[in-house]
Chains A and B, each alone.
Chain A
């Protein structure tokens, strides 16, 4: 996101929970904001929306494969789970804490509340891909999003779902790589051309999240395989 409105910089904090998700509040006006859509929800800046960009999830090896010179910002925070390991949010058996559940409105019960999936959205479309549904397709699917082909896959290294626009109509896994019918290859989250050189990647906005959060943020969302 870009935290400016009409050229003015705003500073954001986390004041609490709504729809089972954290809200943002800018410290200048105390307006509440949706941290997924960047939309002002409550306060004097309602009507404003912060420009969005993707925050991709991967592991260190993949990040370095994408850009060997990449930098990392380290905070002073030393949590209990810093030294690797599987992030607890991958646990689909965990239930939503009562304090979070109490902030949910009417739930969309088409999918299990805590199911993990990839939400993908554009100005015209929003669609939810359950990880389970992607796996059932062989860990990837080439779908259509606003007339463009989009590859949605579960990364074999990080087990994280991701989506990117492609020009191919077919694909196959070879080890940890996805080989596309136009000769390009998805390797460590990056797109590589037939010559082995990097290709620019265009990705729709996406979020790896639980069903309840995506469904509350995008009411009536399409569900891959069900619509």
Chain B
């Protein structure tokens, strides 16, 4: 489960963003990319939480522990320290993951 403080902290940040950023207000404040129509934006209320990655573990060891199977779906990216996997189902919740490898920031979206 999500840790309570972390979850609500992120919820608050996104909820504030969603509350403050309403289409009419934005239209008056910001420049717009050529084809972007702010009236079609639908806020989600901050229900998703970015995954800030601070550590990782060997995929093979996780498979050996039977917590996942050989058929479990994963997503693969390349970072400065090599390939890094994510569980597809976890990323279908987070949608965004960010971290650093050898001091070089990376981000994946799904």
Residues of A within 8 A of B (CB): 1-4, 9, 11-19, 22-25, 27, 30-32, 35-36, 39-44, 46, 50, 53-61, 63-64, 66-79, 81-84, 87, 89, 99-100, 102-105, 158, 219
Contacts and interface: CB of A to CB of B under 8 A. Distances in A.
Contacts of B53: 73, 75
A123 B14 CA distance: 33
Top 5 A-B residue pairs of the complex, sorted by shortest distance between their CB atoms? A71-B56, A35-B109, A61-B70, A16-B43, A3-B107
Given A22-B44, A63-B83, A73-B55, 10 more contacts: A2-B104, A3-B107, A14-B44, A14-B95, A55-B110, A70-B82, A73-B56, A77-B2, A83-B72, A84-B72
A72 B84 contact: yes
A4 B96 contact: no
Given A4-B105, A64-B63, A23 B13 contact: no
B44 to A, nearest CB: 5
Contacts of B77: 53-56
Contacts of A23: 41
A227 B89 CA distance: 35
Contacts, number: 241
Contact of A59 (B31, B44, B71, B109): B71
Contact of A41 (B33, B96, B99): B33
Interface in B46-91: 46, 48-51, 53, 55-60, 62-63, 68-78, 82-90
A18 B56 contact: no
A13 B43 CA distance: 12
A83 B31 contact: no
B87 A72 contact: yes
A45 to B, nearest CB: 10
Contacts of A4: 105
Interface size class of B (residues with CB under 8 A): 35 or more
Contacts of A35: 95-96, 109
A79 B59 contact: no
20 contacts: A11-B50, A14-B96, A15-B21, A39-B33, A41-B36, A42-B26, A53-B78, A55-B76, A55-B110, A56-B75, A56-B76, A58-B74, A60-B74, A64-B60, A67-B82, A70-B58, A70-B60, A76-B1, A76-B3, A79-B93
B13 A84 contact: no
A179 to B, nearest CB: 23
B14 A61 contact: no
A163 to B, nearest CB: 15
Contacts of B40: 18-19, 102-105
The CB with the most chain A CB atoms within 10 A, among B26, B41, B43, B49, is that of B41
A23 B55 CA distance: 26
